[in-house]
Amino acid sequence: MQFFERDGSALLYRQNGETVRVEPWGQNSLRVRAGILSELDWPCAALLDPPAGEGAVNIEIGERQARLQNGGITVVMDLNPWGDTLQMTFLNAQGRVLLREISNGCSLDRRARWYKPLPGGNFRLKASFMANEGEHIYGMGQYQEERMDWKGCNVELMQRNSQVSVPFYLSSLGYGFLWHNPAVGEVHFGANTTEWTAESTPGLDYWITAGDTPAAIEHAYTAVTGRAPQMPEYGLGFWQCKLRYYNQQQVLDVAREYKRRGIPLDVIVIDYYHWLRCGDYRFDPEYFPDPAAMIRELKEMGVETMVSVWPEIDTRSENYAEMRQQGLLAKTNGGVDVQMIMHGNNVFFDATNPRARRYVWEKLQKNYAELGVRLFWLDEAEPGFGGYDLEQYRYQAGEVLAVGNLYPREYARMVYEGQQARGQRDVISLTRCAWVGSQRYGALVWSGDIFSTWEDFRKQVCAGMSIGLAGIPWWATDIGGFHGGVTADPAFRELLVRWFQFGCFSPVMRLHGCRGPQHEVVNKAGEVREWCGADNEVWSFGEENTAILTRYILLRQAMRGYLRAVTDAAHTAGDPILRPLFYDFPSDAAAWEVKDEYMFGPDVLVAPVMQPGAESRSVYLPAGARWTLLHSGAVYEGGQRCEAPAPLAEIPVFLRDGSHPEWVGMI
């Protein structure tokens, strides 16, 4: 019997209805697909075609073992003696095991690739690998936990408000792994096994790469999933936002006040319910009587306008009937077709449907882009199904259980491709969710509707590092958190200042939040509209704090040249902007353990103050560099901890090897 065969540069295994295909896919990388009674020809969810002719490929086929080498990675395919089942092992260039499937366990009759048939032809899938002793696992997107190492954790593969599932991890053992499957599922990074599950899928699909450094792994991963476009110049400065500027006059008054005070402002954001009904995709003329004039005046002040759009379509919207008739909406499988309740009954447009993307973009183009709007905020991008009971819903691309994680990427794709067709090249879209490849469509992920607490603040630092490693370099938080902050509360003001300092050293610096106390808005027809929060501008938190916040905006301005360099590195090579210490110092074992400080590009180490009342904090300085404290100019040798001073006006920031001396003393 011939279990193995060669197909071009690919290696195949066939046995008892299962086909496994392993093939080179990028430098030092392999793609693995497997299925039952399948030609493995399902659509490619995220991977781009690899460059032709990369690396030396070598295939060896024996009776009960086969090997495929692509540069620095090798797969060894062995037949277990019980049932001739396949076990795959992945090795690096030195022959060290990176990852190995579980064996069948002889009479245990286990399956490394387990398929449970479902009605309609898909399977519930589980893929199981042996755990590696001492391994640390990083990445996976954005989860609201105060951790970076996912070893020993259960991780949900599903999108939620403030949760972004991007199923790629970087291992401390020198490899990266992408679960190339948009299905809802889970991964368990256990002490004995690692198990990936998909609730509904046609088959197994993953990608693995070997690399000597974290940077080499990230470069290989982003080469086959795409890299962010160049960051527009307005992405480097300060963005002003709140929930919500509900009329044209408020927007202009705020921008004019920034101008009067001489505080640089790049973007002002108009949040949701500037429309009458979700799905209208236009300004409500009662509150925005002349949006073109508003946008024009903002441009004259050097300020770009960003507008929020939602994927919800209210059943009373002027576009609902046509979208329903044309089949452009997500479908509820049974019962009443209501997918979210907010100021009415709403359903979601189907972002996986190219016709739906074209329809919605045409509305955005006519009612926003042609007025001068160049930036869109793609809120509710998960999308936010009420209750997240995803088995109830279906897209054109398939049932949500099977393809649901694609939605946020296709939502960003809609705007990116629409703006590109208009001739706009500097495309950036603020979005609440993402999946593999979202970065190539200009997605700027923010961390969702989080609380204004110190605990949530600490979680954002971990989230920012994790999503950067998952290939999404453009990322931000609501400075100060979204829910629960009261503008006049001294305790909140302290939190906001500390968060603002962190925002200065984030890929995008955006002040936003739902501040208390809120007030009601009622339109001329007597209808209660979405309420508005209290003031949230840099002068809203007391004079002393205004001076502090302004200094950080000015520092951000001074950093523009550096910011341009680090964002260009994300564009050209796939380097994260906000990243863990080990990314730049992989040989320093202690750097792999740090979760409360980070590198901001290659030259800047940031240690946010994340405890109330703190006036100093312990900072680890990686070995192999000398570090200059930004505030004072004091110099420290690496490979040690120091106690850095941190009164309220100061965040401990250290410059590597004497870089950027012109910044010293600016805060």
**Residues taking part in catalysis:** 379, 382, 449
> Taking CA 189 as the corner, what is the angle to CA 187 and CA 190, rounded to the nearest 5 degrees?
125
- Residue 165, SS3? strand
The sign of the dihedral angle between the CA atoms of 598, 601, 602, 607 is negative
User: Could you give the CA distance from residue 355 to residue 327 in angstroms, rounded to a whole number?
Assistant: 9
H runs (alpha helix) in 423-516: 454-469, 490-504
Q: Which residues of 467-491 are buried (b: 16+ CB within 10 A; e: fewer)?
A: bbbbbbbbbbbbbbbbbbbebebee
For the chain, the residue count is 667
In whole angstroms, what is the distance from residue 141 CA to residue 326 CA?
Answer: 35
Among 329, 327, 330, 315, CA closest to 277? 315
SS (H, E, C) 538-591: CCCCCHHHHHHHHHHHHHHHHCHHHHHHHHHHHHHHCCCCEECHHHHCCCCHHH
Give the integer Cα–Cα distance in Å for 594 and 348: 41
* Cα–Cα distance for residue pair 177/164, rounded to 1 Å: 17
Between CA 224 and CA 29 the distance in angstroms is 10
Q: Where are the alpha helices (DSSP H) in 191-247?
A: 214-225
Q: How far apart are CA 158 and CA 156, in angstroms?
A: 6
**What are 345's strand-pairing partners?**
341
| Cα→Cα distances 648→499, 542, 545, 612, Å | 11, 14, 9, 10
C-alpha distance from residue 347 to each of 316, 383, 610 (Å): 11, 10, 39
Phi and psi angles of residue 650, each rounded to the nearest 5 degrees, phi first: -125, 135
